[in-house]
Chain A
Amino acid sequence: MNIRLRAVRLILLIIGVISLAVAIYIDQFEFVKELLSKFLDQELAGYPF
């Protein structure tokens, strides 16, 4: 159990840190801010445009 626990934690840490580092490097956070600032119709299935 202990090995499994540590292995899963390590996998989550590696995925999280690498994704975060690359996201910062390619400035994806600014894209998120931009996305939240504009009208998004992706979630509006059924909306009578």
Chain B
Amino acid sequence: MSITTKRRARRYYITISRKITQILSFIIVFGGVLGYAATVLVLPIRVGLSNPFVIVADAWMLMEIMFGMAMVPLVAIASIALFTLVLGRTTCGWICPFGLINDILGALGKRKKLSPRTTLGLWKFALFIAGFLLFIDVSIYYNEVVGSSIKNYFGAFGDAPTTFIDPVTTLFSLLFWMTYSNKWPKDITGWFNLPAELYWRLFFLAIVIIGMLFIPRFYCKALCPLGAIMGLGSEFALLSLHISKGKCIECKVCERACPMDIPILSFIDRGEVRHPQCIMCLKCMEVCPTKAIWLKFG
């Protein structure tokens, strides 16, 4: 290895470690491919539950499916609350399989920088979606408990209303099963007989993929209900980024590197970078020329 390559590797050791963690997590989450059986692990990540190779539960979909079964999803609530308290949205940046897909597509496309106002606005939008979906889920749960099911009002999406606007389950569950069980039409007429819901979900997946090509982590910023809910508590997480006013030269390299477009320098007086969109990718810490940003627990 040449000296230049060594220096570059040393400089980007956080990105390299994160990529390795993301790939390993992806392999572990889809551990069924390697022959591993389902585990009792429930993590705040987006992967869905319907894929037979998934061995770790997605807290959001588990919550939704259990509400639909008239059960209180205590494991999902515990997982979201405790992970948020300790790590904030770190799982989004380091473990989430759909986060890895966001990163890959973001790297392939052309990056568009968002303003701080838009970044926060997108989180609020995602939070609104999450709140709306939770309201539907709790309503379904309540009506299932009292014995007057309202699932039929939501048609094919009654069992899991998130799937209506969820590219994650479309990709990992629906498209997987379509391919695995060979349900794709053999001739042109077969395409006209497919359910309308399938076309809607494919259309929405395409929209999100296009979004991810132009805006890094588009899904995580603007649509992920789990990320938005975690963002509420991540501002108060034990793990946080700190910034030193004395060391910072305000070069804005950190802000340019941030995939979530967080206005890091606006936190300089506070000394702590606490933003609902922060996924703890640590890119800011890595690129800072004066090492003014560091990680602190507690």
Contact = CB atoms under 8 A, between A and B. Distances in A.
A45 B82 contact: no
- By CB atoms of chain B within 10 A, which of A20, A33, A42 has the most? A42
A35 B46 CA distance: 16
A15 to B, nearest CB: 4
Contact of B173 (A22, A35, A43): A43
Nearest to B270: A1
Contact of A12 (B155, B198, B200, B236): B236
B48 A43 contact: yes
Contact of A45 (B57, B81, B84, B201): B201
B202 to A, nearest CB: 8
Interface stretch (B11-19, B70-78, B97-105, B121-129): B70-78
A42 B48 CA distance: 10
Contacts of B195: 46-48
Interface stretch (B36-44, B209-217, B244-252, B281-289): B36-44
Interface string B57-86: 100011011001001001101100110110
B48 A16 contact: no
A35 B41 CA distance: 12
B55 A44 contact: no
Interface in A1-48: 4-5, 8-9, 12-13, 15-17, 19-20, 22-23, 26, 28-33, 35-37, 39-48
Contact of B82 (A12, A36, A43): A12
Given A23-B78, A32-B42, A37-B37, A43 B85 contact: no
Contact of B38 (A26, A33, A45): A33
A23 B75 CA distance: 6
A35 to B, nearest CB: 7
30 contacts: A8-B236, A12-B81, A12-B233, A13-B82, A16-B77, A16-B78, A16-B81, A20-B75, A20-B82, A26-B74, A28-B75, A30-B40, A32-B40, A36-B57, A40-B49, A40-B50, A40-B65, A43-B49, A43-B61, A43-B160, A43-B169, A43-B174, A44-B174, A44-B177, A45-B174, A46-B174, A46-B198, A47-B177, A47-B178, A47-B195
